[in-house]
């Protein structure tokens, strides 16, 4: 009778030594000599492999031939203390069933280290590598930590729509959703423009860039909500920090002002980093050893230091006084580029910075106007190596002031009536922010390209897999 399978993550329990065990997984490597063969088996539950020791007195060459890198096995045998260094226990194989072979001529993941660029072309198989196994386990743990953080604090998880008829950020970088025949579009006879009344939803729709506007409806009813879902941006930026499809977490809280919002953001990211350090130690240590020797030091540094809180105007003064030659010249009113953000965080303060009170012209319409009439209560959290990890603000709760902004920016009113109702009926001060999930995963794993922290990245000219 087949014995119950033990996951490899659980197999290193010293209490199991001396017992007959069953493991299943994929072969990472095989080596050995004429008398004994060693197979490193991994089942994805941990970065660690279990060593299978195969005595050639018990198995024939013929039987072992299909056991190559990438093949999948079911092994039963005795778990014994290991003589080899670097592992605590190993399995002396008694029975081996081969589920599937992996032809060594064609299986792309042979044991030699591959470049991350090569693995991006093999995104369907890269989860089987140590690196992507580690990244994906950390990603999963961070997702859990996020729900735990908010649930423990009485926030409700609100599901906001992915298909929308409004543009939250006003950036215009949206993917259209339509069932119209693109080769034969219905046109309005008078204007010659596309007649969206004939489209599926009877109006022009897109994939959402943010769940915030619906999030505000939730917060002004349930008090404190968060969203956690995919968002889509058709910005044609081929950078190591932008995806066309990324996941965002957007808490929104009634009665919170900008200071409460900053406190929440700081507590939140620290909680996530602490959770990963406590629960993903093996994976983070592996990533540190492979890619980024300062990783754990940097995570602990962020965890144990207060973030700097600085108005944009002060930030501009520091940049101007820096004497540095930036590619994009600095003056009040500019949208900060990554080089500016990185100077403030990595060179000047050497810690995360929350930059606040940006000029209204470079921020979204919903942000609360300050008394100066020029700046808004925005807050961007800037991180070492990442740049902007969070963007948020206190929201404009005054109906009249919000209307003024909407008119100044020519935002089509008829699409916004439901949003304005939050300000017409029982409006309250409220605040929120959005964390780019992949940017958090980048920071925690020490990876440098956002394409390597999401299983199947979507970027300009790339929607493979």
Quick one: what does residue 210 bind among Mg ion, ligand 4AD, none, with the CB cut-off 5 to 8 Å set by partner type?
ligand 4AD
Contacts with 265 (C-beta within 8 Å, 6 or more apart), sequence order: 354, 379, 381, 390, 392, 433, 435
Question: Taking CB under 5 A as the rule, does residue 215 contact Mg ion?
Answer: no
Question: Taking CB under 5 A as the rule, does residue 133 contact Mg ion?
Answer: no
Q: Which is nearer to Mg ion, 430 or 439 (CB)?
A: 439
Check: CB of residue 455 under 8 Å from CB of residue 123.
yes
Q: Which is nearer to ligand 4AD, 128 or 233 (CB)?
A: 233
Footprint (CB under 6 A) of ligand 4AD, residues 226-245: 233, 242-243
Alpha helices in 230-388, H assignment, sequence order: 258-279, 281-291, 295-304, 312-321, 338-342
Q: Which of 42, 210, 256, 422 binds ligand 4AD (CB under 6 A)?
A: 210
Question: Taking CB under 5 A as the rule, does residue 434 contact Mg ion?
Answer: no
Question: Taking CB under 6 A as the rule, does residue 269 contact ligand 4AD?
Answer: no
Check: CB of residue 127 under 8 Å from CB of residue 455.
yes
Distance CA 7, CA 45 (A): 7
Q: For the chain, what is the largest distance between any 2 Cα atoms, rounded to a whole number of angstroms?
A: 87
Q: How far is the CB of 74 from ligand 4AD (least distance, A)?
A: 40
**Number of residues counted as binding ligand 4AD (CB under 6 A):** 21
Q: Which of 433, 446, 452, 453 binds ligand 4AD (CB under 6 A)?
A: 433
Quick one: what does residue 275 bind among Mg ion, ligand 4AD, none, with the CB cut-off 5 to 8 Å set by partner type?
none
Q: Which of 285, 292, 339, 388 binds ligand 4AD (CB under 6 A)?
A: 388
Question: Taking CB under 6 A as the rule, does residue 353 contact ligand 4AD?
Answer: no
Nearest residue to 385 via CA among 450, 326, 330, 331: 450
Question: Taking CB under 6 A as the rule, does residue 430 contact ligand 4AD?
Answer: no
410 C-beta neighbours (distance < 10 Å), count: 8
Check: CB of residue 382 under 8 Å from CB of residue 344.
yes
CA-only gyration radius of the chain, Å:
27
Footprint (CB under 5 A) of Mg ion, residues 349-388: none
Footprint (CB under 5 A) of Mg ion, residues 382-411: 391
DSSP assignment string, 355-378: EEEEEGGGS-TTBPBPTTSSEEEE
Question: Taking CB under 5 A as the rule, does residue 251 contact Mg ion?
Answer: no
Q: Which of 43, 167, 438, 452 binds ligand 4AD (CB under 6 A)?
A: 438
User: Beta strands 308-311 and 353-359: pairing type?
Assistant: parallel
Q: How far is the CB of 32 from ligand 4AD (least distance, A)?
A: 46
Binding segment toward ligand 4AD, per CB under 6 A, in 43-51, 114-122, 246-254, 287-295: 246-254
Which residues lie across from 100 on neighbouring strands? Answer: 72
**Number of residues counted as binding Mg ion (CB under 5 A):** 1
Nearest residue to 332 via CA among 349, 348, 315, 356: 315
**What does the per-residue mask of binding to ligand 4AD show for 149-188, with x meaning CB under 6 A?**
-------------------xx-------------------
Q: Which of 352, 384, 434, 446 binds ligand 4AD (CB under 6 A)?
A: 434
Q: Which of 432, 441, 442, 444 binds ligand 4AD (CB under 6 A)?
A: 432
Distance CA 297, CA 446 (A): 11
Degrees, nearest 5: CA angle 115-117-122: 95
Pull the structure tokens for residue 64. Answer: 């072992």
Q: Which is nearer to ligand 4AD, 131 or 393 (CB)?
A: 393
Distance CA 53, CA 82 (A): 10
Which burial class, exposed, middle or buried, applies to 414 when counting CB atoms under 10 A from its CB (0-12, 13-18, 19+)?
exposed
Question: Taking CB under 6 A as the rule, does residue 390 contact ligand 4AD?
Answer: yes
Distance CA 149, CA 265 (A): 11
Question: Taking CB under 5 A as the rule, does residue 436 contact Mg ion?
Answer: no
Question: Taking CB under 6 A as the rule, does residue 195 contact ligand 4AD?
Answer: no
Please report, as ranges, the residues that interact with ligand 4AD according to CB under 6 A. 168-169, 210, 212, 233, 242-243, 246, 248, 250, 388-392, 432-434, 436, 438-439
Please report, as ranges, the residues that interact with Mg ion according to CB under 5 A. 391
């Amino acid at each position: 009778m087949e014995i119950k399978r033990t996951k490899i993550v659980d197999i290193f329990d010293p209490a199991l030594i001396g017992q007959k065990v069953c493991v299943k997984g994929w072969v990472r490597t095989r080596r050995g000599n004429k008398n004994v063969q060693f197979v490193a088996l991994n089942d994805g539950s941990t970065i660690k492999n279990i060593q299978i020791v195969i005595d050639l007195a018990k198995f024939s060459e013929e039987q072992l031939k299909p056991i190559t890198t990438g093949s999948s096995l079911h092994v039963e045998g005795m778990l014994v203390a290991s003589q080899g260094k670097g592992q605590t226990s190993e399995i002396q194989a008694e029975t081996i069933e081969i589920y599937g072979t992996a032809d060594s001529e064609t299986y792309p993941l042979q044991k030699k280290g591959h470049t991350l660029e090569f693995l991006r072309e093999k995104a369907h198989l890269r989860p089987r590598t140590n690196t992507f196994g580690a990244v994906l386990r950390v990603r999963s743990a961070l997702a859990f930590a996020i729900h735990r953080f908010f649930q423990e604090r009485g926030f409700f998880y609100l599901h906001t729509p992915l298909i929308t008829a409004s543009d939250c950020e006003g950036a215009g970088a949206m993917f259209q959703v339509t069932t119209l025949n693109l080769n034969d579009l219905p046109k309005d006879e008078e204007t010659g423009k596309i007649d969206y009344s004939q489209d599926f939803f009877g109006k022009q729709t897109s994939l959402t860039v943010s769940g915030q506007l619906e999030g505000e409806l939730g917060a002004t009813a349930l008090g404190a909500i968060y969203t956690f879902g995919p968002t889509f941006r058709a910005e044609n930026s081929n950078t190591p920090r932008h995806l066309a499809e990324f996941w965002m977490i957007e808490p929104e809280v009634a009665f919170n002002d900008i200071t409460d919002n900053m406190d929440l953001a700081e507590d939140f990211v620290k909680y996530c980093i602490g959770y990963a350090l406590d629960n993903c130690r093996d994976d983070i240590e592996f990533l540190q050893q492979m890619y980024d020797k300062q990783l754990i030091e940097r995570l602990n540094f962020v965890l144990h230091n207060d973030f700097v809180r600085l108005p944009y105007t002060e930030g501009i003064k520091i940049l101007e006084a820096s004497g540095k030659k930036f590619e994009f010249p600095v003056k009040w009113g500019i949208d900060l580029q990554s080089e500016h953000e990185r100077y403030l965080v990595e060179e000047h303060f050497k810690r995360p910075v929350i930059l606040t009170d940006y000029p209204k012209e470079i921020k979204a319409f919903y942000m609360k106007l300050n008394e100066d009439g020029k700046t808004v209560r925005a807050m961007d959290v800037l991180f070492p190596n990442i740049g902007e990890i969070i963007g948020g603000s206190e929201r404009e709760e005054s109906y009249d002031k919000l209307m003024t902004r909407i008119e100044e920016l020519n935002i089509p009113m008829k699409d916004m009536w439901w949003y304005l109702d939050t300000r017409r009926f029982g409006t309250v001060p409220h605040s929120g922010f959005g964390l780019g999930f992949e940017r958090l995963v980048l920071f925690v794993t020490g990876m440098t390209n956002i394409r390597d922290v999401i299983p199947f990245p979507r970027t300009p000219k790339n929607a493979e897999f």
